[in-house]
Amino acid sequence: MFETLTTRRDFLRTGTGLVVSFALAPAVFGAAEASISKVNPKPTDLDHVDSFLAVGTDGTVTVYSGKVDLGTGVKTALSQMVADELDIGFQQVILITGDTMTTPDQGPTYGSSSIEMGGFEIRKAAATARKALLDMAAQKLHVEPASLTVSGGRISSGNRTVTYAELVGGKSFSIGVDSNAAFKAPSALTLIGTSVKRVDIPDKCTGAFTYMQDVRREGMLHARVIRPPAMGAELVGFDDAEAKSVPSFLATVRQSNFLAVVSSTEWGAIKATAAVRANWSGWEGLPEQAKLFDAVRATKSIKEDITSSVGDVQAALKTAATHLDATYDFAAHTHGSIGPSCAVAEIVDGKLTCWTASQSTHALRLQLATMLAIPPENVRCIYMDGAGCYGRNGHEDAASDAALISSKVGGKPVRVQWMRADEHVWDPKGPPTLLDMKGGLDGNGEIVAWSSSLFTPATMGTNVPLLTGMLANSPSTGGIVPGGVTADLAIPYDIANVHTVAHRLESTPFRPAWIRSPGRMQNTFANESFLDELLASASLDPMSYRLEHINDPRGEELLTRLAKLSGWDERPSPRKSTGDVCQGRGLAYVHYDLTRAWVGVVAEVEVVRSKGTIRVLRLFAVQDCGQIINPDGVRNQIEGNLVQTTSRTLMEEVTFDRSTVTSTDWASYPIITFPDVPEIVVELIDRPEEKSFGSGEPSAAVVPAAISNAVFDATGARIRSVPMTPAKVWAAIGDH
């Protein structure tokens, strides 16, 4: 299996003889806490309070969160939740995230679940702990628990006080999490619901923050991976003679089609990589880009997921007075992290430690163990903040690159920093998505039939396969895992006959993964645009129809407030303007997963008919995510979703030839820049008595349809394809 390992020096054989010199010794991160064996065992199951928190002898409370902060501010929000529930100061909370040795496996940080699920679990543990502390204090002070008051981690009865630290400092609670432990009443909260400033921002603004990319280990080596020029190519052979002339070159590592260069310096690794002459076989397994959606449609469906079925759609379509058909498509997208993925791995005494920006360290731990055929208990993954990932980008793959390479160089610490093209070409993609829509209206303009058919990859596995393992032919737990791509295919409207079905495809051109708002973004684009097509055919106002057909008080309040916020002009679309430069407004709404947050957006756009260019002028958004933990944090997420998804909608598309992805950088895969960013107006509906829902995703889902509807309002032309490039818009306008 391990096919080739060439070295220029004998450092691998001597094991400890390597000398790496630096002009100045770089800061070595985490030397003390790195080794697996040096950490005292603590429970990490989801059932015990000690899994989630510990009171220190100094009165600090260390919180262990399986959910990590991907740049969304949850570290601050989770600390607010614990501090409030435990009646301690915000500054007393120390948060440890995503360390598989110490934090519970609360599932990956995805799907807007950090506050909604992760925070809920931690808050339950805190509420249980608070009750236990009160009971302990009551016993110690010989009073009833109900007579005690708590502030700043000090429990008082009259003038007698006992602190949390005195009760359990440095000790365990040894109690289970009480699922019935009551949260504090909203009126008693002092931190939840306030815009506490984010704990990470001062360091991030001054260079004091340690990102994944900044992790350094004593004796650390640098590696770069040489990727196949065609995605399915086989490595026939390689010649690294020239690479050996790079002074810092140490080794070329090969396993099957995985080829990497190791150097004592980072620049040396980059230079040596360019100097390796690799001989790859040809491969042309990708579809022709111009016929991508023909290929998607022609792909075998191995499963039909019917996500909603009401009445008899076929019969209703037959008898409908008006009948509309339309097909929507959404291009393959990259996550587009600004910082390419990076990881550091080292193996000591057969035990692997991996520093990673993975959103899913616990799952990664099992994947790395499988890949290297070592027991999971010998793998520790430690989360370090990376660049925003917006889903499953290349972080996990960089981790497996580093782990595999370290295993080939005697376990020495190895840092793998992906280059820009690694990320753009090789991160798993949001799969190209196709939707066929059919609708019917009766003679009174009432929508009586709604049918949608989604073509999207099947889910076949538990994890996105590690790229390293795919290239190296290593054992894998991975499969096709595109995320929750069928969510929000069903619609929130009261229509008599509805049928929505997902054709789950056996393959998709690129390794797929979830990208922020997976499926909901694509499905809501089709749903909310096609709804406006039906409404336009009956000359109905888009806002009024939705208000009348959602039968959901929170959705109705949201739309009412959105209409007011945006100054909604009640009338049917299109506006029937005639100039070359015309403006329009469009609405889109989603009830996330039909069970979670509510969000609506109105887009105002300007279209130049003769050029087909769209400029998004303003976006108005209203969101109801239940009890808000940190209002400014939620606003920051909504603003980010609106801007990022405007970029996706207007210009983003993975391009490719028959062999590989050709959008390799920011020139070939442009994203929105400052001059084109719209003005954004956000209104939050806070419901302190209600459950909290996540905010990282939902507002992304509504942007493409709001823009499509606004372009239709402005021009009468319907854009059914993302990205809405000038060529597509110009062609659609030409038809009108």
Partner 1 sequence: MTHFQLSVNGRQEQVSADDPEMPLLYALRNDLSLHGPRFGCGLGQCGACTVIIDGEAARSCITPISSVGEGKITTLEGLGTPEHPSPVQAAFIEEQAVQCGYCINGMIMQATAFLSKTKNPTEGEIREALASNLCRCGTHVRIVRAVQRAAREI
Smallest gap from residue 248 Cβ to partner 1 (A): 7
Smallest gap from residue 679 Cβ to partner 1 (A): 8
Would you say 166 or 200 has its CB closer to partner 1?
A: 200
Quickly list DSSP for 109-129: S-TT-IIIIIIHHHHHHHHHH
| 510: number of Cβ within 10 Å | 22
Smallest gap from residue 525 Cβ to partner 1 (A): 18
Going by C-beta distance under 8 Å and a sequence separation of 6 or more, which residues neighbour residue 329?
A: 293, 296, 432, 433, 434, 435, 720, 721, 722
Going by C-beta distance under 8 Å and a sequence separation of 6 or more, which residues neighbour residue 186?
A: 192, 193, 627, 688, 689
Query: Which of 61, 70, 167, 701: binder of partner 1 (CB under 8 A)?
Result: 70
Span from 234-242, 383-391, 506-514, 556-564 in contact with partner 1 (CB under 8 A): 383-391
Output the CA–CA distances (angstroms, integers) from residue 398 to 66, 118, 261, 357, 598, in the order listed: 20, 26, 14, 9, 36
Here's the x/- map for partner 1, 649-668, by CB under 8 A: it reads as ----------------xxx-
End-to-end CA gap in the chain: 61
Span from 53-61, 147-155, 533-541, 677-685 in contact with partner 1 (CB under 8 A): 677-685
- Gap between the Cα atoms of 466 and 404, Å rounded: 11
Residue 194 binds partner 1, judged by CB under 8 A:
no
Going by C-beta distance under 8 Å and a sequence separation of 6 or more, which residues neighbour residue 607?
A: 581, 582, 583, 584, 613, 614, 615, 711, 714, 715, 729, 733
Quickly list DSSP for 554-571: HHHHHHHHHHHHHT---S
**Which string of b and e fits 474-490 if b means at least 16 CB within 10 Å?**
bebbbebbbbbbbbbbb
Query: Which of 44, 644, 715, 725: binder of partner 1 (CB under 8 A)?
Result: 644
Q: Which residue has the tokens 């684009």?
A: 525
Query: Which of 204, 291, 303, 736: binder of partner 1 (CB under 8 A)?
Result: 204
Would you say 188 or 338 has its CB closer to partner 1?
A: 338
Residue 673 binds partner 1, judged by CB under 8 A:
yes
- Gap between the Cα atoms of 86 and 61, Å rounded: 9
- Gap between the Cα atoms of 489 and 505, Å rounded: 16
Half-sphere exposure of 570 (CA within 13 A, CB side): 10
Strands (E), 567-612: 581-591, 598-608
- Which of 43, 102, 108 lies closest to 484 in space, CA to CA? 108
Would you say 70 or 132 has its CB closer to partner 1?
A: 70
Residue 209 binds partner 1, judged by CB under 8 A:
yes
Smallest gap from residue 74 Cβ to partner 1 (A): 11
- Gap between the Cα atoms of 274 and 261, Å rounded: 10
Smallest gap from residue 206 Cβ to partner 1 (A): 5
In the chain, what are the helix, strand and coil shares in percent, each to the nearest 5? 35, 25, 40
- Gap between the Cα atoms of 90 and 719, Å rounded: 49
Task: State the virtual CA torsion across 188, 193, 199, 205 in degrees, nearest 10.
Answer: -150
Smallest gap from residue 614 Cβ to partner 1 (A): 18
Smallest gap from residue 30 Cβ to partner 1 (A): 15
Residue 284 binds partner 1, judged by CB under 8 A:
no
- The answer to whether residues 591 and 652 touch, using CB atoms and an 8 Å cutoff, is no
Residue 387 binds partner 1, judged by CB under 8 A:
yes
Span from 417-425, 457-465, 602-610, 686-694 in contact with partner 1 (CB under 8 A): 417-425
- Gap between the Cα atoms of 404 and 11, Å rounded: 18
Query: Which of 1, 208, 290, 727: binder of partner 1 (CB under 8 A)?
Result: 208
Would you say 2 or 209 has its CB closer to partner 1?
A: 209
Residue 200 binds partner 1, judged by CB under 8 A:
yes
Query: Which of 178, 442, 639, 686: binder of partner 1 (CB under 8 A)?
Result: 639
Residue 695 binds partner 1, judged by CB under 8 A:
no
Length of the chain: 736
Residue 386 binds partner 1, judged by CB under 8 A:
yes
Residue 283 binds partner 1, judged by CB under 8 A:
no
Here's the x/- map for partner 1, 150-189, by CB under 8 A: it reads as ----------------------------------------
Residue 242 binds partner 1, judged by CB under 8 A:
no
Which three-class secondary structure state does DSSP give residue 602? strand
Q: Which residue has the tokens 């506490």?
A: 196
Q: Which residues from 310-369 bind partner 1, rule CB under 8 A?
A: 336-340
Residue 206 binds partner 1, judged by CB under 8 A:
yes
Residue 620 binds partner 1, judged by CB under 8 A:
no
Backbone angles phi, psi at 597, to 5 degrees: -70, 160
- The answer to whether residues 607 and 729 touch, using CB atoms and an 8 Å cutoff, is yes
The count of chain residues that interact with partner 1, using the rule CB under 8 A, is 68
Residue 1 binds partner 1, judged by CB under 8 A:
no
Q: Which residue has the tokens 């021009």?
A: 715
Q: Which residues from 252-281 bind partner 1, rule CB under 8 A?
A: 265-268, 270-271
Would you say 523 or 636 has its CB closer to partner 1?
A: 636
Q: Which residue has the tokens 């506050």?
A: 115
Q: Which residues from 514-543 bind partner 1, rule CB under 8 A?
A: none
Span from 229-237, 295-303, 384-392, 586-594 in contact with partner 1 (CB under 8 A): 384-392
Query: Which of 640, 698, 704, 723: binder of partner 1 (CB under 8 A)?
Result: 640
Residue 107 binds partner 1, judged by CB under 8 A:
no
Query: Which of 238, 390, 592, 712: binder of partner 1 (CB under 8 A)?
Result: 390
Q: Which residue has the tokens 């008599």?
A: 496
- Which of 505, 586, 29 lies closest to 295 in space, CA to CA? 505
Residue 71 binds partner 1, judged by CB under 8 A:
yes
Would you say 168 or 269 has its CB closer to partner 1?
A: 269
Residue 198 binds partner 1, judged by CB under 8 A:
yes
Span from 7-15, 16-24, 437-445, 650-658 in contact with partner 1 (CB under 8 A): 16-24
Residue 388 binds partner 1, judged by CB under 8 A:
yes
Which three-class secondary structure state does DSSP give residue 456? strand
Here's the x/- map for partner 1, 26-45, by CB under 8 A: it reads as xx------------------
Residue 211 binds partner 1, judged by CB under 8 A:
yes
Give residues in contact with partner 1 (CB under 8 A): 22-24, 26-27, 70-73, 197-198, 200-211, 213-214, 216, 247-248, 265-268, 270-271, 336-340, 385-388, 390, 417, 419-420, 632, 636-637, 639-644, 647, 665-667, 671-675, 677, 679-680
